[in-house]
């Protein structure tokens, strides 16, 4: 479907109430969650496929973990904060959104093309640096993939700006479905053992999505506004630093691990165990990402409304409630979720609660981050993230040789926690928001009590244990319903309660 300039006309309408804003945010979060939460849950199938097909001793999953950590960092570098910059300037009345869009496409596309030509020209030396001298095209294929992903991130951002979540979800799920299908065919039905096929399949699926996004590149006049670009770069540069620090917070341990682990022969093996086990904890990253897809355009589009701080405070509270619920859900049913991994990887499951709490810290930090984006002081985000990143890198370098991958988990906990606290306290001085700290604290305390109660249950039978933990989880859900989500306000159920009052 071609993009037309008429689509960018925003008719004036009555400003919705804070509750209406939250309902809209919740609706879009659910839709985006289909690609993030459901999609990544389906990707757990790949973790199962890889950890069953690739034995622990071979370190194959360690190679996959290491490679995807490298490409995650490259993706942030290649988008250089322009995704958020696009949202900021597309929502400014003095700029034509299509001009902002085309300027962003041209600038990011040019950087991506230069990067790809340069990196492929020096592929062998690059592969040697990262330990893939014998398999340079492991790196080569992923360089092409990350280049396309960087360019596509702007196209996906435009879909979010245009509030086209259905197309967004379709394209995301297209990649996920085709990726899972091809991996299952190769590793399960063909009994393949070549790790390189993982990267080849990724390249095929990313190319398929790129072909499907051609309509987002048509139907409008390409304009390059140099003055606009300079303003966008000035706004986005601190976000680039923030993004680098942020992604390093997530992948620095996986990039550093092979270089500092004392037993080089076992580095890929240990990294594979950590990478596989920590995947169980990634439900927090799924929730955060789904929330972000809806929340970022939502915040900027409502940034001029008088009630915005009340909305942000409510959104923070509900985000924390549901991440705590997710934490209890994962931890209480971990004895079942572990079957998503090959048995050789179960030894690493002790990192799951630590990594999940770290992800909660990161999600809260993301929600807090909008105060400096809204007042155009993005430098603060760079400061906080650099501090958090420095803590993570130092802890990993110092403690990986002593404690192995457990150091990776605690490094994230410490780094995210410090960044979260710094953003909160500075933000309350620069852009005060009255968060419901009292209510949030009650939820945190109740979560801790229920979690430890569930862990200390003296029940040996697995089914009885899961039943008892389900009762404990139901207590938490009941507390949520009683205090923040009355049944009378829910669709269908609410009608019944209203009718029978």
HEC assignment per residue over 64-81: HHHHHHHHHHHHHHHHCC
- Taking the C-alpha atoms of residue 73 and residue 309, their distance in angstroms, rounded to an integer, is 32
With vertex at residue 414, the alpha carbon angle to CA 413 and CA 416, rounded to the nearest 5 degrees, is 70
CB 381 within 8 A of CB 373: yes
Find, among 300, 368, 306, the residue nearest to 160 by Cα. Answer: 300
Q: Report how far apart, in Å, the C-alpha atoms of 127 and of each of 118, 142, 261, 265, 481 are.
A: 14, 11, 20, 18, 54
CB 444 within 8 A of CB 324: yes
Q: What is the CA radius of gyration of the chain?
A: 23
State the number of CA atoms in the 13 A half-sphere of 400 facing the CB.
29
Does residue 295 register a pLDDT over 70? no
Does residue 15 register a pLDDT over 50? no
Among the listed ranges 10-19, 94-103, 180-189, which one has the minimum average pLDDT value? Answer: 10-19
DSSP state of 290: H
Split at pLDDT 50, 70, 90, the class of 441 is very high
Q: What is the mean pLDDT of the chain?
A: 83
The pTM of the full predicted model, rounded to 2 decimals, is 0.74
Q: Report how far apart, in Å, the C-alpha atoms of 100 and of each of 84, 85, 158 are.
A: 12, 9, 10
**pLDDT score at 361:** 92
- Taking the C-alpha atoms of residue 393 and residue 399, their distance in angstroms, rounded to an integer, is 10
Which of 160-164, 215-219, 475-479 has the highest mean predicted lDDT (pLDDT)? 475-479
State the number of CA atoms in the 13 A half-sphere of 292 facing the CB.
21
Among the listed ranges 138-142, 241-245, 322-326, which one has the minimum average pLDDT value? Answer: 241-245
- What residue has token string 């300027």? 103
Task: Name 161's Cβ contacts closer than 8 Å, sequence gap at least 6.
Answer: 86, 87, 90, 97, 297
Find, among 211, 195, 209, 81, the residue nearest to 139 by Cα. Answer: 195
Among the listed ranges 53-57, 124-128, 157-161, 397-401, which one has the minimum average pLDDT value? Answer: 53-57
Q: 501 or 164: whose pLDDT is higher?
A: 164
**pLDDT score at 301:** 59
- Taking the C-alpha atoms of residue 383 and residue 365, their distance in angstroms, rounded to an integer, is 13
Does residue 352 register a pLDDT over 90? yes
- Taking the C-alpha atoms of residue 192 and residue 186, their distance in angstroms, rounded to an integer, is 6
Percent of the chain with pLDDT over 90: 43
Does residue 58 register a pLDDT over 80? no
Among the listed ranges 257-261, 294-298, 302-306, which one has the minimum average pLDDT value? Answer: 302-306
DSSP state of 220: S
**pLDDT score at 284:** 67
- Taking the C-alpha atoms of residue 468 and residue 172, their distance in angstroms, rounded to an integer, is 37
Q: What is the mean pLDDT of residues 234-238?
A: 83
State the number of CA atoms in the 13 A half-sphere of 17 facing the CB.
2
DSSP state of 90: H
State the number of CA atoms in the 13 A half-sphere of 167 facing the CB.
17
Split at pLDDT 50, 70, 90, the class of 288 is low
Task: Name 482's Cβ contacts closer than 8 Å, sequence gap at least 6.
Answer: none
DSSP state of 189: I
**pLDDT score at 7:** 34
Q: What's the chain's length in residues?
A: 501
Chain segment 118-150, per-residue pLDDT in tens: 999 999 999 988 888 888 999 999 999 999 999
**pLDDT score at 168:** 87
Quick one: how many helices (H) and strands (E) in the chain? Answer: 21, 0
Does residue 257 register a pLDDT over 90? yes
Task: Name 364's Cβ contacts closer than 8 Å, sequence gap at least 6.
Answer: 316, 319, 320, 420
Containing H/E element for 392? helix 379-403
> DSSP string covering 226-273, please?
HHHHHHHHHHHHHHHHHHHHHHHHHHHHHHHHHHH-S-HHHHHHHHHH
> DSSP string covering 103-138, please?
HHHHHHHHHHHHHHHHHHHTHHHHHHHTT-TT-HHH
CB 138 within 8 A of CB 107: no
Q: Report how far apart, in Å, the C-alpha atoms of 351 and of each of 355, 358, 406, 410, 411 are.
A: 6, 11, 7, 9, 11
214 SS3 class: helix
Percent of the chain with pLDDT over 70: 83
Q: What is the largest CA-CA distance in the chain?
A: 74
369 SS3 class: coil
CB 121 within 8 A of CB 47: no
């Amino acid at each position: 479907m071609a993009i037309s300039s008429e689509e960018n006309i925003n008719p004036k309408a009555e400003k919705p109430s804070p509750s209406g804003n939250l309902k809209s945010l919740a609706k879009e979060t659910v839709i985006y969650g289909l690609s993030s939460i459901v999609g990544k849950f389906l990707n757990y199938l790949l973790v199962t496929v890889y950890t069953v097909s690739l034995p622990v001793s071979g370190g194959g999953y360690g190679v996959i973990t290491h490679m995807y950590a490298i490409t995650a960092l490259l993706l942030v570098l290649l988008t250089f904060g322009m995704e958020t910059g696009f949202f900021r300037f597309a929502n400014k009345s003095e700029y034509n959104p299509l001009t902002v869009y085309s300027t962003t496409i041209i600038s990011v596309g040019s950087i991506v093309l230069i990067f790809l030509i340069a990196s492929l020209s020096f592929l062998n030396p690059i592969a040697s640096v990262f330990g893939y001298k014998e398999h340079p095209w492991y790196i080569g294929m992923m360089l092409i993939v990350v280049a396309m992903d960087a360019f596509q991130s702007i196209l996906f951002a435009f879909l979010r700006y245009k509030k086209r979540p259905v197309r967004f979800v379709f394209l995301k799920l297209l990649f996920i479905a085709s990726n899972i299908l091809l991996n299952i065919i190769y590793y399960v039905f063909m009994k393949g053992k070549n790790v390189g096929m993982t990267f080849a399949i990724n390249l095929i699926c990313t190319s398929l999505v790129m072909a499907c996004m051609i309509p987002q590149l048509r139907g409008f006049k390409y304009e390059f506004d140099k003055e606009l670009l300079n303003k966008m770069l000035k706004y986005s540069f601190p976000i680039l630093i923030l993004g680098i620090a942020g992604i390093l917070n997530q992948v620095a341990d996986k990039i550093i691990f092979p270089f500092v682990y004392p037993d080089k022969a076992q580095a890929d093996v240990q990294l594979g165990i950590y990478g596989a086990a920590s995947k169980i904890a990634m439900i927090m990253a799924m929730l955060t990402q789904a929330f972000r897809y809806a929340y970022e355009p939502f915040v900027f589009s409502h940034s001029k409304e008088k009630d915005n701080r009340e909305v942000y405070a409510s959104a923070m509270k509900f985000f924390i409630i549901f991440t705590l619920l997710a934490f209890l859900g994962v931890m209480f049913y971990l004895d079942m979720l572990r079957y998503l991994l090959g048995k050789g990887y179960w030894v690493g499951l002790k990192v799951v609660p630590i990594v999940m709490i770290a992800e909660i810290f990161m999600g809260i930090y993301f929600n807090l981050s909008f105060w400096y984006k809204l007042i155009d002081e993005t430098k603060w985000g760079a400061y906080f993230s650099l501090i958090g990143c420095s803590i993570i890198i130092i802890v990993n370098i110092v403690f990986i040789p002593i404690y192995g991958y457990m150091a990776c988990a605690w490094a994230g906990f410490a780094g995210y926690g410090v960044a979260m606290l710094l953003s909160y306290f500075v933000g309350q001085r620069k852009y005060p928001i009255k968060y419901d700290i009292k209510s949030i604290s009650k939820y945190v305390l109740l979560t801790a009590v229920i979690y430890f109660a569930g862990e200390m249950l003296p029940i040996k039978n697995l089914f009885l244990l899961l039943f008892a933990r389900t009762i404990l989880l139901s207590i938490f859900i009941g507390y949520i319903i009683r205090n923040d989500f009355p049944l009378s306000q829910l669709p269908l159920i609410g009608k019944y309660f209203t009718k029978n009052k």
